[in-house]
Structure 1
Amino acid sequence: MFCNRNPLKVQAAVFAGKDKLTFLDINKFEGNVFELLDKSEKYIAQRINWRVQFGKLEREEIPEVPTKAVREALVNSVCHRDYTNTKENEIAIFKDRIEIYNPGDFPQGYRPQDFIKGKERSMPRNPLIAETLYKSREIEKWGSGLKRIHDECKASKVRVDFEVLKSGFLVIFYRPGEKVTEKVTKGLVEGLVEGLVENQKRILKLIQTNSHISKKELANKIGISSTAIDKNITSLKKKGLLRRVGPDKGGHWEVIEKSK
């Protein structure tokens, strides 16, 4: 589990709506425990919305769902997964929520709320994995996983639910939605959009909320072809309003502010 001789697997997907009828992206990661945690966290971070907050010295990118809570949920899913079960851990990103699932029974006779309130001690299904992650500082304190997720989300005003299923355990982060995103980005984008067509305005707004968004995702959200996306992006680059930082895979977009 901590080497690549017998790699672990995680299934990940992005869905167009609130169900699993249509997916925009599907992937499967392989690797040791540490690699899976990093790959899973990166996958989610690149596919959620980020808002930009300008401080006195520099701008700060803030995710719609707290990444510390996401990381903690991923660590929890690895520690409590039933590795005798052929079913794999799953990440599902929907329009309104993010789900992190692991197979394995929840401790019988207990509820998630018992651990969130700190009334009960941790009962790791895989003590060796938990001990190794604790020593590597992935786990800060024994038995605090669900409480940390809950507290991080409460501080960020993000709703989170914990569901005990017959087949396993599910952590659900609810996304704030496009209305919140629209409100956050409106002020910044309005200063850039003079002389732009409507699709170019929408491209800037979507990129401003998620700098890692792909051209395919832009096309799906706006409802135009990939060719049309390419033409509009080329136009925005020529106007000095948009640039690409880094490679196609692993890079990100950057909206350029006009000098006042």
Structure 2
Amino acid sequence: MNPFFKQKESETLELKKSTAQLKPAVISIVAILNKHQEGKLYFGVKDDGTVVGQEIGNDTLRTISQAISAYIEPKVYPVIRQVTFEGKSCIEVEFQGNEVPYFAYGRAYIRTSDEDKPLSVKELENLILRKNKDQLKWDSSICREASLEDISEEKVRSFVKEAGKEYKGLENSLKKLKLAKDGNLTNAAVILFGKKPEDFFPNAKLRCAVFATNDTSYIIDMQDYTGDLFYLIGEAEKYILKNIHIGMRLEGLKRIDVPEISKEAIREAIINAFCHRDYYEYDSVNVAVFKNRVEIRNKGLLYGGLTIEQIKTEMVSERRNELIAEIFHEIHWIEKWGRGISLILSMEPDTDFKEVGTQFIVTFKRKYFEDSEERDGEKVGEKVGEKVGETLTQNQEVILSLIRENSRISARELSDRVGISARKTEENISKLKKKGLLKRIGSARGGYWEIIEK
């Protein structure tokens, strides 16, 4: 028994003076369900919260139940009970349902504050589309083929510790993270913490490439990576930083490496790519390092009707993969306020965002790029390990990079990988030797290259 009623109408609570208002009460139930999927309604209470009581006969509760059953579609099965407020009898109707949109007397309504408004055709279409999208969310769908044996307990334990939580077993931890439902694993659980996610999802993949020019004509390097999202994000970041120019600044006597593109901006863009990509599409997240720019591409256009202009000027975000986003938020990889794009622009103001076909592309401009054609003696930047102030051409940098990867690489292979003639390759090798940066150890056939770090 509740002696006092202290509530007022809200988006989830409707008050009716009596069952004489049964038809608008049915409409209110539908409006609340379409907005919040649950709510309460009382007969015997005025809309300002004043309890007036409700006369309750033998058939009163049945009449309410029959009206709800007859005039609401899809069917709703509320709990209807007699309650007492301030010594007066009232009726409480408690209802819930997820089969939106609901209709009352053949029409759909939506709750706005404490009012019930008819839905327009366009609003109804949007409601249906939103429902279908939510039901089809990839990350919260069940991965039927996977079991707990496919999940790495070490990965989960490490994550829980980093999130500042107490680890209480694998299954319990996954449930608390909403990654398991009724003993079944979600797709998010597998792609985040699976021992080998690629066995279940061939698109749990990262593809990285370095190109010698501003287009894809000459590939210098290409690498594919598979694994969980945490691993792929780390590898993408390392790959970019390894293949762009690194400058330096001195703090006291300590050398601090300074990438030509902000490391924080790169990381934010990579996390966004994996977080917001459309995993129903068979593809990888793609990282491309060109002579003048770095591109990060992922399948999946902006979600929730957002535009490029909106994400650049407003701190808004619509999440295609809510579960994955929540996991990243737990360890502070992303924020809930949609600040990712503004953070990137604060560090790299010239960053470009665009949608091409089904791809979302983030482009960072490389600061040490020059529009003129490459000439011998042109200064294009400084890499970690190279002599401070040493002037190198793009081709010479590429040659040194390839030799770092394979000290026994042949001159012919260098020529093919760099995309220049054998004569030009030999000229560049000769100049690197004269600069004191490269030395040949042993014979041409059985020897190897040695890079001299200064």
- Aligned Cα RMSD in Å? 3.5
Q: What is the CA-CA distance between 1:151 and the residue it aligns to?
A: 1.0
TM-score (norm 1): 0.72
Q: Which runs of 5+ in 2 are unaligned?
A: 1-190, 199-203, 372-377, 406-413, 440-450
Q: Give 2:351's aligned residue.
A: 160
CA distance in 1, matches of 2:279, 2:300: 8
The range that moved more, 219-228 or 131-140, is: 219-228
Count of residue correspondences = 222
Q: Relative to structure 1, is the Cα distance of residues 97 and 237 closer, same or farther in structure 2, using a 3 angstrom cutoff?
A: closer
Q: Give the TM-score taking structure 2 as reference length.
A: 0.43
> 2:208·2:224 contact (CA, 8 Å) conserved in 1?
yes
Confirm whether residue 65 of structure 1 aligns to residue 65 of structure 2: no
- Determine the structure 1 residue equivalent to 2:425: 224
Q: CA deviation at 1:135?
A: 0.5
Identify the residue that residue 125 of structure 1 maps to in structure 2.
Answer: 320
Instruction: Compute the displacement of 1:233 (Å).
Output: 9.1
Indicate yes or no: 2:282 matched with 1:94.
Answer: no
Aligned position for 1:182: 379
- 2:196 aligned partner: 5
Task: Report the CA distance between 1:108 and its aligned residue.
Answer: 5.3
Bigger radius of gyration, 1 or 2? Answer: 2
Q: Which amino acid aligns with 2:379?
A: E
Q: Tell me which stretches of 4 or more aligned residues in structure 1 moved more than 6 Å.
A: 216-219
In structure 1, distance between residues paired with 2:334 and 2:359: 21
Aligned sequence identity (%):
29
Per the alignment, do residues 109 and 29 of structure 1 end up closer, same or farther by CA in structure 2, a change over 3 Å counting? same
In the other structure, the counterpart of 2:360 is: 169
Pair 1:92–1:236, CA change in 2 (3 A)? closer
CA distance in 2, matches of 1:178, 1:189: 16
1:136 and 2:331 correspond = yes
Alignment of 1:40 onto 2:236: yes
Equivalent pair of 2:207/2:284 in contact (CA under 8 Å)? yes
Residue of structure 1 equivalent to 2:392? 202
Match of 2:218 in 1: 22
Residue 65 of structure 1 aligns to a residue whose secondary structure is coil
Deviation at 1:133, TM superposition (A): 0.7
2:285–2:298 Cα contact (<8 Å) kept: yes
Q: Alignment partner of 2:363: what SS?
A: strand
Unaligned ranges ≥5, structure 1: 191-200, 239-252
Which digits, 9 at most, give the CA deviation of each residue in 1:231-252, with x for residues without a partner? 82995479xxxxxxxxxxxxxx
Q: In the alignment, residue 341 of structure 2 is paired with which amino acid?
A: L
Cα displacement string for residues 21-58 of structure 1 (whole angstroms, at most 9, x for unaligned residues): 11000111101010000011001110000112233221
